[in-house]
Structure 1
Amino acid sequence: MPLILLSGYPSSGKTQRTTQLITYLESKIAHSPDPKISRLKIHHLTDQNLGLARTVYATARAEKDARATLSSAIKRHLSPHDIVIADAMNYIKGFRYQLYCEAKAVQTPHCVVHIGTPIETCRAWNAHALENGTGGYEEEIFENLVFRYEEPNGMTRWDSPLFTVAADDAQPPSEAIWEAMVGSDGKAKVVRPNAATVLKPASAQDYLYELDKTTSDVVAAVTTWQQHHPSEGGGDVIVPGAEQSIALPMVVPSLPQLQRLRRQFITLNRQHTLSKARIRDLFVDYLNDAFQS
């Protein structure tokens, strides 16, 4: 069942909104005559109940480990009978993309709830919490998190559907979230995994050779384009035989970055049975997704 990601500035009221949402969801589950819905369980994951102190955001290594802890907890609970609510920072779009992929891999719906509290209000709430000893982030950590915050964009797949809660809203849009994630009849939109995440036994003896060669050819097409456009950022790389082109970001990826993405793709697909043309199209799509995250 669904993965619901909360996202917002530090001290924006994410946990308060989550509590309101959980109250609504529990009522819907308790009063549903549908056995499929009535047996749903809600898992509320926070930094606090995962044992993560606010000071983890003071250093890059500690913060990376904290995200890994949250990601592992989410993956542990994602199942057809659970609603997972990640009430944490979730302020990095790349991390939200990663969690979107985890949800899609287990064919469960996903959404992002953006707590749109203004920065000045968050700053005041944070200072009040610090003064009273009831929480809050140290000022330097708070300002750093605000500076690095990447606001969700409903136009991207990993931030969609996106629900925004304004500071003066009495309640989050709980009914709309329920309909999108569970549905009135327990039949939310069917989520199908990417072809690259569906494992099938390999049958062709030369499959690994084709996987390696085809992905190498795609990387070569990108590097050749870069050689002919050394001073340009962005641009579309036409890959012979592919259905779509590769949209390069403004900061053009280096060869080591491309090779790392190629190795990741090979690892995901080494047990599949894909045609050469399908390998090429999936790898192009994989690169486009990586460059947008």
Structure 2
Amino acid sequence: MPLVVVTGFPSSGKTTVALQRLKVFLRCEAIYKNVKHFLSYSALSGFLVSSDFTDSSKEKEIRGLIKAEAQRLIGRDTVVIIDAGNYIKGYRYELYCMSKSNKCTQCTLHCVVPVDSARQWNAARVEEDAYSQEVFDALIMRYESPDSRNRWDIPLFSLLPDVMLPGPEVFTALFERKAPPPNMSTQCAPLSSTNFLYELDSITQEIVTAILSAQKLGVEGQVKIPGHEGCVLEGVGSGITPVQLARLRRQFLSYTKLHPMNDTTKIPALFTQFLNTSLR
């Protein structure tokens, strides 16, 4: 299920968008009722708003709490809305990577208001919920606006205070498009049968041993792999070292474990082809 990042200047209406507009809209959609929401820093930290930003280590800790809670809540039947802590583009990128690794769609809602309006709205808040003038000015200077050229900020919707939420467009972005595929490096290897792993290990070791044996006999050029018809290693000579072969074998094992095959008879040809390509 999706992740929605609501961003904007301090006191720009992020909570209003998240609670009164987006959350209500999503709950009106009968099949998407399970909406989780992070309201503010203070909801998780227990500190006053301004005090959260006067200590950089505390601020970083609270952002970590928000991300950890999002990681816990994000899932198949949940819409997570984050409207705090995402004024830094690097943090929005972290949230994007989190949603991507969980195979979830994501969009960004940018509350666009002039600085003077945000300052007036902040002054009108009750004292315990308002940012101090020093903190407010610091957050304005540090704020990094989302950019539609950044993959972690798209789809990007810019929202003005008096303009209706583009509900259908947001709905389409969240529920009617495919999530970006997770990076291969972050995925766990698929479960493979013990027999496949055994065959993979023994066959590749057998081929490496045959190559090293041919080297010891002084064979150069082509080496036909015994027991595997049609498997020929090209360009064998003194330049190929056992360390190099071991490294290439580990690379092949790692890749093949992520992409297991049903027919183990293909392993010799594939490994030989991999070696010929890598040793050129």
Give the TM-score normalised by the residue count of structure 1: 0.62
Alpha-carbon distance, 1:172 to partner: 2.0
Q: Secondary structure at the match of 1:17?
A: helix
Alpha-carbon distance, 1:125 to partner: 0.8
Q: Which residue of 2 aligns with 1:273?
A: 254
Q: 1:110 aligns with which of 71, 82, 106?
A: 106
CA distance, structure 2, for counterparts of residue 52 and residue 112 of structure 1: 26
Q: Secondary structure at the match of 1:11?
A: coil
Q: Is the 8 A contact 2:100 2:179 kept in 1?
A: no
Q: Which amino acid aligns with 1:113?
A: L
1:22 counterpart = 2:18: no
Q: Which amino acid aligns with 1:162?
A: L
Unaligned ranges ≥5, structure 1:
31-36, 206-269, 276-293
Q: Secondary structure at the match of 1:50?
A: helix
Across the aligned residues of Structure 1 and Structure 2, the Cα RMSD in angstroms comes to 2.2
Q: 2:178 aligns with which of 186, 189, 211?
A: 189
Alpha-carbon distance, 1:166 to partner: 1.5
1:148 counterpart = 2:142: yes
CA distance, structure 1, for counterparts of residue 42 and residue 157 of structure 2: 24
Q: Is the 8 A contact 1:14 1:87 kept in 2?
A: yes
Q: Which residue of 2 aligns with 1:67?
A: 63
Alpha-carbon distance, 1:176 to partner: 1.1
1:45 counterpart = 2:38: yes
Q: Secondary structure at the match of 1:70?
A: helix
CA distance, structure 2, for counterparts of residue 148 and residue 45 of structure 1: 21
Q: Which residue of 2 aligns with 1:138?
A: 132
1:160 counterpart = 2:160: no
1:116-169 deviation digits (Å, cap 9, x = unpaired): 11111001111121xx43621011111101000000011111111111101332
1:97 counterpart = 2:93: yes
CA distance, structure 2, for counterparts of residue 135 and residue 190 of structure 1: 36
Q: Secondary structure at the match of 1:108?
A: coil
CA distance, structure 1, for counterparts of residue 137 and residue 168 of structure 2: 34
Q: Is the 8 A contact 1:8 1:114 kept in 2?
A: yes
Alpha-carbon distance, 1:52 to partner: 4.5
What is the total number of aligned residue pairs between the two structures?
195
Q: Secondary structure at the match of 1:193?
A: coil
Q: Which residue of 1 aligns with 2:243?
A: none
CA distance, structure 2, for counterparts of residue 90 and residue 80 of structure 1: 23
Q: Secondary structure at the match of 2:162?
A: coil
Q: Secondary structure at the match of 2:38?
A: strand
Q: Is the 8 A contact 1:118 1:167 kept in 2?
A: no
CA distance, structure 2, for counterparts of residue 83 and residue 160 of structure 1: 17
Residue 190 to residue 158, structure 1, CA distance change in 2 (3 Å)? closer
Q: Which amino acid aligns with 1:88?
A: A
Q: Which amino acid aligns with 2:66?
A: L
Residue 167 to residue 42, structure 1, CA distance change in 2 (3 Å)? same
Q: Secondary structure at the match of 1:49?
A: helix
Q: Which amino acid aligns with 1:177?
A: V
Structure (1 or 2) with the larger CA radius of gyration: 2
Unaligned ranges ≥5, structure 2:
202-250, 257-280
Q: Secondary structure at the match of 1:79?
A: coil
CA distance, structure 2, for counterparts of residue 123 and residue 274 of structure 1: 54
Q: Secondary structure at the match of 1:111?
A: strand
CA distance, structure 1, for counterparts of residue 138 and residue 11 of structure 2: 13
